[in-house]
């Protein structure tokens, strides 16, 4: 049973339930970019992202990756395990786009021979600065052992996601993961959706992700719907 709201982020609201070990995540239609400086709403965005995320969490679970996903409780709400969130954004990159092309002499669309993992300290106050294992440990946000485990799981997820997206004619330049702790284990948390992945149509190269909103590249809801049609065709049946 859904109880009071405990947290409202940029695109999801988290509610307590009558069971302290479970929470409800509501995917909203709100959108933000550039550290919250740009804001908007897109019809059905929450629905498409929730359904895409659910399908991907189920696929990852079937491959032995532990996630916080339990079940959908409505079209836009998922029941999730309560985990202790690790304050690190784990970015995995396969093709150069976004910040890496601004910060380093790397041209957009460069295909990396091996995936690149970047860890950012999840802190609005400090502007999500990049961190390495030593800084993570010094800050007390993770142990060396956890950093190693997160890296291994992130690379495994990347391999599975690249193959999965390829089958539906999507390229996966990069994406962001968040992890939590539960019962001494590392668990995939947050979401995997068009808000947290760059997805390019394999044939046209067009963005089908939040870059449409960041750079006013067209109709975001239509693009997310198209991604949902490819990943969760069953919801359109
Ligand atoms: N990303 C995210 N949340 C963040 C930062 C990044 O979901 O707070 C995702 C983003 O959608 C992209 C990837 O992580 O798929 C890499 O983002 P990048 O560092 O290039 O940042 P950007 O160029 O979007 O500012």
Q: Is the pLDDT of residue 1 over 90?
A: no
Kindly report, residue by residue over 55-99, the tens digit of the pLDDT. Answer: 999 999 999 999 999 999 999 999 999 999 999 999 999 999 999
Q: Determine whether the shortest distance from the Cβ of 98 to ligand 1 is under 6 A.
A: yes
Q: Give the pLDDT of residue 141.
A: 98
Interatomic CA distance for residues 124 and 159, integer angstroms: 30
State in Å: Cα 176 to ligand 1 middle: 6
CA of 79 to the centre of ligand 1 (A): 25
Q: How far is the CA of 199 from the centre of ligand 1 (A)?
A: 12
**CA–CA separation, 9 and 36 (whole Å):** 11
Closest CA to 83 of 186, 184, 180, 188: 180
The residue contributing the CA closest to ligand 1 atom 23 is: 98
Strands 170-182 and 185-189, sheet pairing: antiparallel
Q: Tell if the pTM clears 0.95, that is, is over it.
A: yes
pLDDT confidence of residue 187? 98
Give me ligand 1 centre to Cα 3, in Å: 31
d(C-alpha 129, C-alpha 116), whole Å: 17
Per-residue pLDDT reduced to its tens digit, 98-151 = 999 999 999 999 999 999 999 999 999 999 999 999 999 999 999 999 999 999
- Closest residue to atom 2 of ligand 1, CA basis: 196
Q: Helix H segments across the chain?
A: 45-62, 99-103, 133-139, 144-167, 211-214, 220-231
**Token pair for 236:** 């359109």
175-231 pLDDT, tens per residue?
Answer: 999 999 999 999 999 999 999 999 999 999 999 999 999 999 999 999 999 999 999
35, pLDDT greater than 90? no
What's the rounded Cα separation, in Å, for the pair 165 and 141? 31
Q: For 209, which DSSP code?
A: S
Sign, CA torsion 205/211/217/218? positive
């Amino acid at each position: 049973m859904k109880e009071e709201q405990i947290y409202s982020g940029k695109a999801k609201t988290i509610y307590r339930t009558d069971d302290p070990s479970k929470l409800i995540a509501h995917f909203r239609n709100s959108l933000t970019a550039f550290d919250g400086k740009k804001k908007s709403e897109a019809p059905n965005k929450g629905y498409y992202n929730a359904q895409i995320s659910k399908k991907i969490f189920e696929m990852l679970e079937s491959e032995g990756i532990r996630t916080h996903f339990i079940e959908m409780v409505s079209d836009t709400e998922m029941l999730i395990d309560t985990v202790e969130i690790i304050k690190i954004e784990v970015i995995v990159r396969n093709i150069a786009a976004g910040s890496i092309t601004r910060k380093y002499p790397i041209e957009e669309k460069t295909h990396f021979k091996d995936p690149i993992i970047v860890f950012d300290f999840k802190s609005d106050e400090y502007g999500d600065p990049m961190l390495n294992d030593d800084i993570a440990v010094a800050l007390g946000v993770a142990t060396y052992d956890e950093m190693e485990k997160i890296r291994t799981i992130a690379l495994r997820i990347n391999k599975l996601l690249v193959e999965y997206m390829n089958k539906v004619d999507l390229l996966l330049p990069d994406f962001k993961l968040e992890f939590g702790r539960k019962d001494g284990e590392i668990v995939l948390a947050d979401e995997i959706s068009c808000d947290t992945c760059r997805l390019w149509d394999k044939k046209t190269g067009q963005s089908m992700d939040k870059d449409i909103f960041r750079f006013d590249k067209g109709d975001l809801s239509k693009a997310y719907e198209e991604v949902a049609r490819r990943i969760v065709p069953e919801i359109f049946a």
